[in-house]
Amino acid sequence: RKNMAEGESYLSQEFDNGQRLFLKIDSSALSSNDPELQAMVKQSLSHFEEATDLIQEASVFSPNEDLDDIRTDLLKYLLVNYYKAELHTRIVNNERSDHLLSAKIHYAQFLGKCQKLRLVHSEDMKTLKKDAPTDAASRRAELMSRARREKEAKERFEELQRKKDTRRPEEEDEETDRQHILVFIDISIRKAISQLELTEKEMQMLQQMQAMRANAPRNARGEIIEQPASSSPPRSTIGNFTILPGGNRVELAKQVFRPGFATATITPEEAACAEIKAGRMLKGGGEQSKKKDDDEDEDEDQDDDEKLYKARRWDDWKDENPYGSGNRKGKS
């Protein structure tokens, strides 16, 4: 077997190779199921699996040691289980449930070791012990507090990283190196808590789906009988909102300020034309109708004048020719 120095060098090499690949995966633009990305995930996981064997073989960590007992250059190996958990969540294949279970185990091992070394914040301890309040307001306050601590830790980490980068190679500053790795572990603890919650939720969802498949009706050959599609597409309801089939957001936007009564679909002029064509309304109105009415009024006035003139002439004639005057011709 390799001596202790060679063993530590090999362990450091395996860890660094796995970490380098993990950082490449974490910043990759490839889709999660891309074969190239999946190959890198499995390769990185292989390096950390080898590192795990070397850590156990060399007894790098003692069950009863405190944080101050661990050498600064060995602190990074506390992250092995964290990286293994992260990598298992990124494996996409038909054994998703098994990988999620492995991820949950590795997250728990990482957080358990950090908890034992008193690296976990008191607020995060409540979450791990399930003692945190579950109401919406308290949950929101918890997440905001966690985000604030994570922001402060990242700012501290970047400060220490700049200090390390500007240091000359021959210079040694163990205190800065120790604070650097401890702050990085602190950031990883909060990520692990969040990821553990998501992993448990996904596991529950997969279990529900498996139960549904197990209870689904099957034919004589054991194949699941597909249910006939509904004639009308189902509507998805979220809170007080209903997503219509097709998801036409433009049509929904048009209906936002629509009145609560039926609005007209044609103009008054179009309605009048339709009534005239159907014979339910006589043509008229407008300037032409007004002119016609004026002409008719003028004709009526003329008729009245003629009648009045004829009546007056008749009255004059009767005055000039009294009743019976025509029978007294030749009489004195």
pLDDT in tens, 18-45: 999 999 999 999 999 999 999 999 999 9
Structure tokens at 302: 């003329």
pLDDT surpasses 90 at 90: yes
Residue 100, burial from CB neighbour count under 10 angstroms (0-12, 13-18, 19+): buried
Q: What is the pLDDT averaged over residues 109-126?
A: 91
80-89 and 4-26 helices cross at what angle (nearest 10)?
40
User: Would you place residue 300 in the very low, low, confident or very high pLDDT band (cuts 50, 70, 90)?
Assistant: low
Q: What is the pTM of this model?
A: 0.63
In this prediction, residue 303 carries a pLDDT of 62
Q: What is the pLDDT averaged over residues 205-223?
A: 80
DSSP letter assigned to residue 241: E
264 versus 216: which is more confidently predicted?
216
Q: What is the pLDDT averaged over residues 64-74?
A: 94
- The neighbouring-strand residues paired with 237 are 242
Q: What is the pLDDT averaged over residues 222-226?
A: 72
Q: Lowest-pLDDT range, 87-96, 120-129, 136-145, 222-231? A: 222-231
Q: Rounded to an integer, what distance in angstroms lies between the CA atom of residue 148 and that of residue 294? A: 86
DSSP string, 4-46: HHHHHHHHHHHHHHHHHHHHHHHT--S-TT-HHHHHHHHHHHH
